[in-house]
Structure 1
């Protein structure tokens, strides 16, 4: 199979950008700045989703399937000064691997946010993220499964659980900001990595039902991801593996 990278990002309000664009006094605390922009979003659109240019990426993670091997990659930039270096490393990974990107809802979040951040930070884009990149560069599973009906799209965690795979609820904007403000950025990063792994499992399953993978190859790649997660030293993967209810049944088919 061609190299594939299933990935997710986690973002919070870019407090510095919000201060600059809306000329907010420096004495206004970060929490109040974020609350200002979230309330503004609710008033304008009825949701907490911020315009792309007001996001700051704090975590990015992926599952890279390449040359018959599989690895879990997890990055965190809790400090604003670390974001540019984290994204530069990630863009280098994309260029070096030449992997096709897989996301759950990347056409509406990951890709436009990364393009905006690259522009703001002066980072050369990898080919997979450039405007005009074709379907061979990126697959948004949610779009592929829903036929573009975003209003009917299924949450990643819910569909994963229906398939007997580990999956958990998404963190909305206020919850991500709450964790960050509480000094728990690592929890954001860990959740993000688990979501990327669940996304990859759903992509493998979709490849199987579409006929791109036979059952044996599908199970082998599942086993590779399970082994990669089990080998990681971080305790949060134990719970993710324990939630993989369909694994034993699939192995015994």
Structure 2
């Protein structure tokens, strides 16, 4: 039960980078007032509260690592690490391994945010941002290249690289018989951080990772990179693993229920 290369399915969670926002707009305000001011400025700029890419602060990176006999969820949050340390830990993966990255909207959001925040802290990440200057083999097959599988951004791929066709992970996961976000949205992230609810934060982020992984398995099946029996093995392996992860008992139960909505996924728990 192995892919040809290690696979890293990942997701990040962010809040508004108040220090950078204060610097950009010359705001001499408390955190709460600065947050409100930045949201108002953003609404005036674009009609949305969602910050510009350089004004995101990474509070959590979660991933699912699949390599040979290893199958493991992990999360780094600001409960234990500074933002800089979280970024360093993520970047260090690529100095040791060259996994296939899998994400949902990672090419347009997650990796650009990681890039901007790495620039902010003066970090170096040559393996992650290599574009063929030092390794000619990565000139066209690198983590930034939109059309090659070293980074498979499922949102982009399933949309045919056409923004008009973009779908939400929550919608696609539910249509395919998986749990989706289960009524929880990214708007909870700031409250989780403010109230130090770190387990809620990491569980939410890991839930997105798990949904992305399940959609990725279906994509690999569609493309013929794995066969029906291999897909069934990976589903069984994922369920077996989640049975050991108490923080995802609700995800597993919701998956059991949602799987009944599709003839294909109804077999997941047989």
Indicate whether the TM-score tops 0.5: yes
Deviations 1:221-246 (A, max 9, x none): 12222222221243xx0110011132
Q: Report the counterpart of residue 19 of structure 1 in structure 2.
A: 22
Determine if the alignment matches structure 1 residue 148 to structure 2 residue 148. no
Matched residues, number? 246
If asked which structure has higher relative contact order (CA below 8 Å, sep 6+), I would say: 1
Decide whether the 8 Å contact of 1:111 with 1:129 is kept in 2. Answer: no
Q: Distance in 2 between matches of 1:128 and 1:138?
A: 10
Cα displacement (A) at 1:251: 5.5
Offset from partner CA, 1:187-238 (integer Å, 9 cap, x none): 222100111111011101110111110011111112222222221243xx01
**Normalising by structure 1, what TM-score?**
0.89
Q: Contact 1:5–1:99 at 8 Å: present in 2 too? A: yes
5+ residue gaps in structure 2?
Answer: 132-138, 260-264
| Counterpart mapping for 1:1-253 below 5 A | 1=3, 2-25=5-28, 28-78=29-79, 82-125=82-125, 127-130=127-130, 133=142, 134=145, 135-168=148-181, 171-172=185-186, 174-234=187-247, 237-244=248-255, 245-246=258-259, 249-250=267-268, 252=270
Scaled by the length of structure 2, what TM-score is found?
0.84
Counterpart-to-counterpart distance in 2, 1:170 and 1:201: 18
Looking at structure 2, the residues matched to 130 and 23 of structure 1 have their Cα atoms a distance apart, in angstroms, of 34
1:98 Cα deviation (Å)? 1.2
Deviation at 1:127, TM superposition (A): 2.2
How far 1:65 sits from its partner (Å)?
1.2
Aligned CA distance change for structure 1 residues 32 and 130 (closer, same or farther; 3 Å): farther
The CA distance in 2 between the partners of 1:126 and 1:56, in whole Å, is: 21
Moved more, 195-204 or 132-141: 132-141
Local SS of the residue matching 2:167? coil
RMSD, aligned CA: 2.1
Cα drift, residue 21 of structure 1: 2.3
Q: Structure 1 unaligned segments of length 5 or more: list them.
A: none
CA distance in 2, matches of 1:120, 1:55: 11
The question of whether the paired residues in 1 share the 8 Å contact of 2:11 and 2:110 is answered with yes
Residue 123 of structure 1: how far off its partner (Å): 1.8
